A and B are shown apart, each in its own frame.
Chain A
Amino acid sequence: MSFSVGVGETLALVGESGAGKSLTAMALMRLHKTQFMDVVADRIDLQGRDIARMNDREIRQIRGSKIAMIFQDPLTALNPVLTVERQLVESILLHNDLSRAGARQRALELLDMVRIPAAKSRLGEYSHRLSGGMRQRVMIAMALAGNPQLILADEPTTALDVTISAQILDLLRELQTNLGVGMLFITHDLHAVRTVAQRVAVMYSGRIVETGDVDTVFTAPRHPYTEGLLAARPHGSFVDGGHRLREIPGTVPTPSDRPAGCAFAPRCGHKTTECEETLPPLELWGKAGFACFHPLEGVPA
């Protein structure tokens, strides 16, 4: 797979569970479990430096300072026995040339930046005493501590309720505009994609099947899978009648029994023998494209 994120741009990576979204993010920081898998990448380029060929020390210097990560569940992603201050100051000291007092000051600024009220009193708290939204704000503050150029947000709102999730999305969008950082936003919430991202890449079974501007892809999808995802969104009101949602039959194949041809073929209504035998390549026109032999006409979904 291949994709790029520009300065100040948000690329959303969407797809079903098991499509390999989180794995992609982990591999970018080389945080995947090396005993189980290997990242085979021609190039992971960060401002002209190739992450795929870095040694452990070099990759450690990238982590947190160039690329930072926000995780799905802020409760388990924060260390339960260390205070917010310890965890924040640690990140700040690691990537900035600051004194301990300076780092504390910076921690306060970061907490203010992510809109945590009464930041001073929160510094001494432990994660279990904070609310879910507050915890995720702390995670975001921690991610910003090293002034990264790229933020990997791995389903940052999945563990939160709808109101808080909307607040976090607003915060992310705002921070990203103000700070000019690039963001890879992983989610399966298509609504969230619309809120924060300019571009989107749809993943299916470890491959990008369609990519392009959020507006274009969402209004005129070309890949049958994208179309299926969009159609499966709940729309309309639950109150007036309520109709059954469309679904994509079947599930994502596991990496071990991926078919020879298009991985989506077994679930696709447009499949032919060609689809089952050959893998459709991702054809790109500029930054948009899709990987399908029988693309849809591009009619609004």
Chain B
Amino acid sequence: MDRQFWTYLGRRAVQSLIIIAIVIVGSFLLLHLVPGDMVDVLGGQRGDMDAELMAALREKYGLDRPVIVQLLEYVGNVLRGDLGYSYRNSNEVLNLVLQRLPVTILLVVCSVITAVFFGTMAGVFAARHSHRLADVVISMVVLVFYATPIFLTGLGLMIVFSVKLKLLPVGGLMTAGFSGSWLELIADVATHLILPVVSLSLFYIAIYCRLARASMLQVLEQDYIRTAYAKGLSTYNVIIGHALRNALLPVVTMVGLQIAELFGGALLTETIFSLPGVGRLAYDAVFERDYPLILGVLIVCAFIIILVNLIIDILYTLLDPRVEISR
């Protein structure tokens, strides 16, 4: 890692900060455009609040001040690492999000790995046998995965494997009141994650499979593949050693683009399988009009997505030496 790399990293960091600033201001203003605030929700739920009490509450929490003042105060707080306080949950927003984040990250990372691995394998296999039976079958199966919404896949899998066959748990992150060794805990969490990961990744398996197939077919036409065969390499070695890395490039690009979408998918999956992740947190926060919490989730997610994209760009330069980091 030379100096050029650090300059690049610095420039990307500045870019990322600008994007995060835009996310903060944009989300804040958007949420304030929505009529009704936290006090309205509280009032609606209690049913016994009069206008005077509501006004007093608004004043207490600073909700009566002009939006611009609230925004500036919020930005100032975020810069100090304070994402606000969730009155509904009686806890710091940052604490809430950080508590839930590991579950979501575990779900998303497992799903990405599953999707890329199986998607690429299926795609490469289909490309190897293009326009033959295996290719047609794979393409059809993958089309079904692609066309089925995540919630339907999730519910279907749950009915078959949990309710009917009773092979896998219905939901949750681990067995309630679990006690055992570390290894047993990992095994327990893993069995709970199988169905969520499968339902979240099936759709992406479909995308990566089609992408890998197309890109593999293109790569196999290249001159350097002919060179590899001319060296006397076996088909397997040509594909694994020479074609795969080139064919993976578009898949990696796609992963970067889809990370944001995957977080959206994670929300649905977490809700279906009652996993205590950030998605569920955001989902609940929306219904309770917990503005500080919604904002906090948005900002943390934006931060993670930007970070992941940076990592993928760096990974890309490692995969493809023709892409060089430059100022």
Interface membership of chain A positions 91-120, coded 1 if the CB is closer than 8 angstroms to chain B and 0 otherwise: 100110000000000000000000000000
Tell me, in angstroms, the Cα distance from A80 to B232 when the chains sit together: 19
Taking a contact as CB atoms under 8 Å apart, the answer to whether B321 and A31 are in contact is no
Residues of A200-231 contacting chain B, CB below 8 A: none
| CB-contact partner of A126 in B226, B228, B229, B321, under 8 A | B321
Known pairs A31-B226, A79-B227; A146 contacts B321 (CB<8 A):
no
Taking a contact as CB atoms under 8 Å apart, the answer to whether A63 and B232 are in contact is yes
Tell me, in angstroms, the Cα distance from A126 to B245 when the chains sit together: 14
Number of interface residues of A (CB under 8 A): 30
Residues of A within 8 A of B245 (CB): 81-82
Interface membership of chain B positions 90-116, coded 1 if the CB is closer than 8 angstroms to chain A and 0 otherwise: 000000000000000000000000000
Question: What is the size category of the interface that chain B forms with chain A?
Answer: 20 to 34
Residues of B within 8 A of A29 (CB): 230
Task: Decide yes or no whether A134 CB sits under 8 A from chain B.
Answer: no
Interface membership of chain B positions 266-302, coded 1 if the CB is closer than 8 angstroms to chain A and 0 otherwise: 0000000000000000000000000000000000000
Task: Decide yes or no whether B241 CB sits under 8 A from chain A.
Answer: yes
Measured CB to CB, the nearest residue on chain B to A152 is: B230
Chain A's nearest CB lies how many Å from the CB of B246?
A: 6
| CB-contact partner of B229 in A63, A80, A91, under 8 A | A63
Taking a contact as CB atoms under 8 Å apart, the answer to whether B227 and A146 are in contact is no
Interface membership of chain A positions 265-292, coded 1 if the CB is closer than 8 angstroms to chain B and 0 otherwise: 0000000000000000000000000000
Interface core residue of B226, B227, B233, B246 (most chain A CB under 10 Å): B227
| CB-contact partner of A63 in B224, B231, B241, B320, under 8 A | B231
| CB-contact partner of A80 in B226, B231, B234, B246, under 8 A | B246
Chain B's nearest CB lies how many Å from the CB of A136?
A: 12
Measured CB to CB, the nearest residue on chain B to A63 is: B232
Tell me, in angstroms, the Cα distance from A296 to B111 when the chains sit together: 75
Chain A's nearest CB lies how many Å from the CB of B7?
A: 21
Task: Decide yes or no whether A128 CB sits under 8 A from chain B.
Answer: yes
Residues of A within 8 A of B320 (CB): 80-81
Residues of A within 8 A of B164 (CB): none
Residues of B within 8 A of A64 (CB): 230-232
Residues of A within 8 A of B231 (CB): 63-64, 90-91, 94, 142, 145-146
Residues of B190-237 contacting chain A, CB below 8 A: 222-224, 226-234
Task: Decide yes or no whether A69 CB sits under 8 A from chain B.
Answer: yes
Tell me, in angstroms, the Cα distance from A78 to B319 when the chains sit together: 16
Chain A's nearest CB lies how many Å from the CB of B101?
A: 35
Measured CB to CB, the nearest residue on chain A to B225 is: A79
Main secondary structure of the interface of A (DSSP, over half): mixed
Taking a contact as CB atoms under 8 Å apart, the answer to whether A80 and B322 are in contact is yes
| CB-contact partner of A77 in B227, B241, B246, B322, under 8 A | B227
Tell me, in angstroms, the Cα distance from A62 to B232 when the chains sit together: 7
| CB-contact partner of A94 in B224, B232, B246, under 8 A | B232
Tell me, in angstroms, the Cα distance from A145 to B233 when the chains sit together: 13
Residues of A within 8 A of B128 (CB): none
Taking a contact as CB atoms under 8 Å apart, the answer to whether A90 and B241 are in contact is yes
Task: Decide yes or no whether B242 CB sits under 8 A from chain A.
Answer: yes
Known pairs A71-B227, A126-B322; A79 contacts B246 (CB<8 A):
yes
Main secondary structure of the interface of B (DSSP, over half): helix
Residues of A within 8 A of B227 (CB): 69, 71, 77-79, 139, 142
Chain A's nearest CB lies how many Å from the CB of B303?
A: 31
Tell me, in angstroms, the Cα distance from A68 to B229 when the chains sit together: 11
Residues of A within 8 A of B246 (CB): 79-81
| CB-contact partner of B223 in A63, A65, A68, A73, under 8 A | A73
Task: Decide yes or no whether A61 CB sits under 8 A from chain B.
Answer: yes
Taking a contact as CB atoms under 8 Å apart, the answer to whether B241 and A81 are in contact is no
Residues of B within 8 A of A139 (CB): 227
Measured CB to CB, the nearest residue on chain B to A129 is: B321
Interface membership of chain A positions 3-30, coded 1 if the CB is closer than 8 angstroms to chain B and 0 otherwise: 0000000000000000000000000010
Chain B's nearest CB lies how many Å from the CB of A74?
A: 9
Tell me, in angstroms, the Cα distance from A126 to B199 when the chains sit together: 41
Known pairs A63-B232, A94-B231, A94-B233; A77 contacts B321 (CB<8 A):
no
Taking a contact as CB atoms under 8 Å apart, the answer to whether B229 and A79 are in contact is no
| CB-contact partner of A76 in B224, B242, B322, under 8 A | B224
Residues of B within 8 A of A126 (CB): 321-322
Residues of B within 8 A of A69 (CB): 227, 230
| CB-contact partner of B242 in A71, A82, A94, under 8 A | A82
Taking a contact as CB atoms under 8 Å apart, the answer to whether A128 and B321 are in contact is yes
Taking a contact as CB atoms under 8 Å apart, the answer to whether B226 and A78 are in contact is no
Taking a contact as CB atoms under 8 Å apart, the answer to whether B321 and A95 are in contact is no
Measured CB to CB, the nearest residue on chain A to B245 is: A81
Taking a contact as CB atoms under 8 Å apart, the answer to whether A76 and B222 are in contact is yes
Residues of B within 8 A of A60 (CB): 232-234
Measured CB to CB, the nearest residue on chain A to B319 is: A81
Measured CB to CB, the nearest residue on chain A to B233 is: A94
Measured CB to CB, the nearest residue on chain A to B320 is: A81
Residues of A within 8 A of B322 (CB): 80-81, 126, 128
Residues of B within 8 A of A145 (CB): 231
What are 22 A-B residue pairs whose CB atoms fall within 8 Å in the complex? A29-B230, A63-B229, A63-B230, A64-B230, A73-B223, A76-B223, A76-B224, A78-B227, A79-B228, A79-B242, A80-B224, A80-B322, A81-B245, A81-B320, A82-B242, A83-B321, A90-B231, A91-B232, A94-B231, A126-B321, A126-B322, A146-B232
Q: A81-B320, A142-B231 are in contact. List 6 more A-B contacts (CB 8 A).
A: A31-B229, A64-B230, A76-B222, A77-B223, A80-B320, A139-B227
